[in-house]
Amino acid sequence: MRNRHITATIAALAIGFAGLAGPANAVAFDKSELKCRKAIAKGFLKAVSTADKTSQGCHKGRDKDAGQIATDCNDLGSTPGSLGAADAKGKFAKAQQKLIDTPASKCVGLDSDIADLFVSCPEPCSTDLGLPNPMSTLDEAAECLACYAGDVAAVKNTTSLGAPDPGLLSGDDIKCRGNIAKGYGKYLSTILKTRTKCQDREDKSGAIVLDPACQTSPDPDGKGKIAKALAKAEAGVDKACPSAALATLGSCAITDLTDLKSCLAAAVDLADSNGFPAHYELDATVCPTGIITTVSAGVGLNGTTASRLDIGWKGLGHNFDVPDAYSVVVSANCPLSEPPCGVCTTTGIDTTAANSQLFMRCTNDFSIKCDDLFTNDLEECGGSFCTYVLGPPVPVQAGGNPSCSINALATDLTGTGNVETGEAAAQTNFATKVFTGGSSFLTQPCPVCVGDPTPNDGIQGGLCDEGARDGEPCDTNGYDATFANLNNNLGLSLDCVPTSLENISGTGLKISFELTTGASSLGAEVACDSPLGAFDCFCGQCSGDTLIACRNDAECSGIGAGTCTANTGGTGRQPNDCNNFGSCADIGDSKGECSDKSDSWCEGLIKANGRGFLGCLSNADCINTSFPCPGDDCGPCTLTQDRSCFLDPIETQGVASVGDPVLAGTFCIPPTLNSAINTASGLVGPGRVVVQQNVVRTYD
């Protein structure tokens, strides 16, 4: 399978199914991978430059010798090793071979990482070389690039130099053609080198994706090199071509020098758009068979993103980060075999993927892996249900009440994605188990994996701190910038689960909702609890099945579960926790804050996203605490923030993208069995999640 990211807490999940057409890689490469990637780029640039100069040299000789009229100086050879008419001395063939040899010399053992970026070889090289589509090795990619380098130069020179009859060329014509070849050859070389240096800097800084600025900016290095090269090329035309006969020149314009310079620049720009991205990735000309989505947290490994989570009507459970840097692999079925692929559907979790197998777990003990997904697994689970867990355990601390959620799918994932537009939607049905601990868990709501060097490699390189497997080996599955930070050598892991005695959700909270790159909305459609029955509130429980949270009567009646009127065990429902329900003010981005209620926090201990962590009434509340503040002093008590609240309706908006979609959803959350947790967050109540993702396609 060729590789070309779902998040949750008490009840939040996100899965992307968008942008299935081209290559992408969300994970930063190590030094050896960067060395390989740079070597391929360098080899391709050298091959293009050599092809261009070889073709130009052939044209120069042909222009001066009428006997060479039959020589096609734009023919650089259809396959590596075959000498085209323009390459009589084999200079381009030598550059091709050096590029072909690059994987063996610079990329040993890296096929699965780098080769995934090169899906389909462009025509006619794909057919001429007999390469598979999709390609599967770096050797195939290098062979393709060696051929394609000649095509890039050949297309440019066919347009700019053509194939004029040398017997009709005057001395002025030859001088003009020489300046065109030299000036616009240097222009192309400058563009490709400048863009490549820009991308090299981007590669070293983080995720391996093509930087749009490097790819399309007229000045990616801020030094004006590209503009200077173009100006020099145009000056050469102005100087050398006024006396040339444009009609016999063989170039792309026969009217005047203005048109000539315009079409020559366009020919180079086309070579740039074809040539620059090719040595980093080659887009697919086949439709994908699967997708990998990787979550980027609100504050996480890739910096600050759109991701965030809001839980309950109280407001203290708003503005949480989501777990970071874990992936989900699903199979895809597209209506067509090659682009345009149309609207594809997911056929569920890809159980053959190594990453998927890390998250297939027994519901009676999430630390145990299983293989009979969505069945009662006798062998591994002792007859208990084998589920897919959507990411690592999720730590939450609201109003001094910690909880740890494990989000297990009740049924397989379903969804659709439009390959061409990046629009996507995914339906999720899961049973979330929620756990709580004592006061020692306030800064560590979930047990953590300490010291695992490489997440999700299947190797238990760390040790669990706290929980049912305290001191046992673990493999990190993801991170949380506040509670399980990579910089502190901590991670979240399904090998490190809370004890069963801490379960406050029974068999799991039933939660179903859609995530979408479009709009999602949840209105206050049910009566609040007494004595506020005259007000409208968000969410209730179905009277016929109180394990199901609902937004209105229709949701319950549609599944034969009564009406949306129950609240069993939850805190009394209110529209929000502002002093005056109507004082929830719109602060933009669909967020609300109470204009008449604020909270005080200790300045010395805040969450990664800047929100308060340890509530206080005075400086004394920030001293001699159990929190890890220097000198046991988390004060002063001077951080004041307005209480968050949900506007009515609760709205959120996703963003369609072929590579980095944002999925969003609104949903209802049943209450837990713990009154403190319910009161702190406001459950039964609504939830909202926004998740930034990176999408990677897979091809069989």
Residue 607 located in a structural domain: no
Residue 633 located in a structural domain: no
Q: For residues 494 and 464, give the distance between their C-alpha atoms in angstroms, rounded to a whole number.
A: 10
Q: Do 250 and 303 have their domain in common?
A: no
Report the candidate in 318, 357, 374 with the shortest Cα–Cα distance to residue 477: 357
Q: Do 148 and 231 have their domain in common?
A: yes
Q: For residues 616 and 636, give the distance between their C-alpha atoms in angstroms, rounded to a whole number.
A: 9
Residue 5 located in a structural domain: no
The whole-chain average pLDDT of the chain stands at 91
* Residue 239: CB atoms within 10 Å: 12
pLDDT reading at 15 higher than 80: no
Of 278, 306, 323, the one marking the end of a domain is 278
pLDDT reading at 2 higher than 90: no
Does residue 48 contact residue 149 with C-beta atoms inside 8 Å? yes
Report the candidate in 429, 363, 367 with the shortest Cα–Cα distance to residue 392: 367
* Residue 349: CB atoms within 10 Å: 22
Beta-carbon-side half-sphere exposure of residue 71 (alpha carbons within 13 Å): 23
pLDDT reading at 37 higher than 70: yes
Of 278, 310, 339, the one marking the end of a domain is 278
Q: Do 306 and 159 have their domain in common?
A: no
Which residues are within 8 A (CB) of 680 and not within 5 positions of it... i.e. 6 or more apart? 314, 316, 317, 398, 399, 400, 401
Q: Do 389 and 264 have their domain in common?
A: no
For the record, the structure tokens of 45 come out as: 């640039």
For the record, the structure tokens of 679 come out as: 């009161």
Q: What is the average pLDDT across 224-243?
A: 97
- Give pLDDT, residue 680: 94
Q: Do 115 and 184 have their domain in common?
A: yes
Q: Do 257 and 311 have their domain in common?
A: no
Report the candidate in 430, 444, 367 with the shortest Cα–Cα distance to residue 402: 444
For the record, the structure tokens of 440 come out as: 């020692």
pLDDT reading at 515 higher than 90: yes
Residue 614 located in a structural domain: no
Q: Do 268 and 417 have their domain in common?
A: no
State the pLDDT confidence band at 80, using cuts at 50, 70 and 90.
confident
For the record, the structure tokens of 130 come out as: 């007999």
CA distances from 585 to 246, 313, 526, 610, 644 (A): 69, 14, 22, 20, 9
Q: Considering only 24-28, 122-126, 179-183, 535-539, which range has the smallest mean pLDDT?
A: 24-28
Residues above pLDDT 70, as percent of the chain: 94
Residue 612 located in a structural domain: no
Q: Do 348 and 415 have their domain in common?
A: yes
User: What confidence tens digit (pLDDT) does each residue in 440-490 have?
Assistant: 567 889 999 999 999 999 999 999 999 999 999 999 999 999 999 999 999
- Give pLDDT, residue 179: 97
Q: For residues 220 and 231, give the distance between their C-alpha atoms in angstroms, rounded to a whole number.
A: 17
State the pLDDT confidence band at 26, using cuts at 50, 70 and 90.
very low
- Give pLDDT, residue 21: 40
Residue 284 located in a structural domain: no
User: What confidence tens digit (pLDDT) does each residue in 323-379 have?
Assistant: 999 999 999 999 999 999 989 999 999 999 999 999 999 999 999 999 999 999 999
Place of tokens 């440019």: 156
* Residue 570: CB atoms within 10 Å: 26
Range of the domain at 134: 31-278
- Give pLDDT, residue 467: 93
Residue 601 located in a structural domain: no
Residues above pLDDT 90, as percent of the chain: 83
Q: What is the average pLDDT across 159-188?
A: 97
Which residues are within 8 A (CB) of 107 and not within 5 positions of it... i.e. 6 or more apart? 36, 39, 40, 114, 138
CA distances from 431 to 138, 274, 384, 385 (A): 43, 48, 14, 12
Q: Do 170 and 92 have their domain in common?
A: yes
User: What confidence tens digit (pLDDT) does each residue in 296-307 have?
Assistant: 999 998 889 999
- Give pLDDT, residue 332: 93
Q: Considering only 42-56, 89-103, 204-218, 414-428, which range has the smallest mean pLDDT?
A: 204-218
- Give pLDDT, residue 93: 95
Q: Considering only 8-17, 215-224, 309-318, 636-645, which range has the smallest mean pLDDT?
A: 8-17
User: What confidence tens digit (pLDDT) does each residue in 640-677 have?
Assistant: 999 999 999 999 999 999 888 999 999 999 999 999 99
CA distances from 477 to 83, 380, 647, 697 (A): 52, 21, 34, 21
pLDDT reading at 681 higher than 50: yes
pLDDT reading at 19 higher than 80: no
State the pLDDT confidence band at 430, using cuts at 50, 70 and 90.
confident
Looking at the structure of the chain, the number of domains it has is 2
Q: Do 270 and 334 have their domain in common?
A: no
Q: Do 378 and 446 have their domain in common?
A: yes
Q: Considering only 19-33, 67-81, 95-109, 499-513, which range has the smallest mean pLDDT?
A: 19-33
Q: For residues 517 and 176, give the distance between their C-alpha atoms in angstroms, rounded to a whole number.
A: 54
pLDDT reading at 5 higher than 90: no
Q: Do 255 and 303 have their domain in common?
A: no
State the pLDDT confidence band at 207, using cuts at 50, 70 and 90.
low
- Give pLDDT, residue 27: 53
- Give pLDDT, residue 20: 41
Residue 294 located in a structural domain: yes
Of 278, 309, 337, the one marking the end of a domain is 278
- Give pLDDT, residue 16: 40
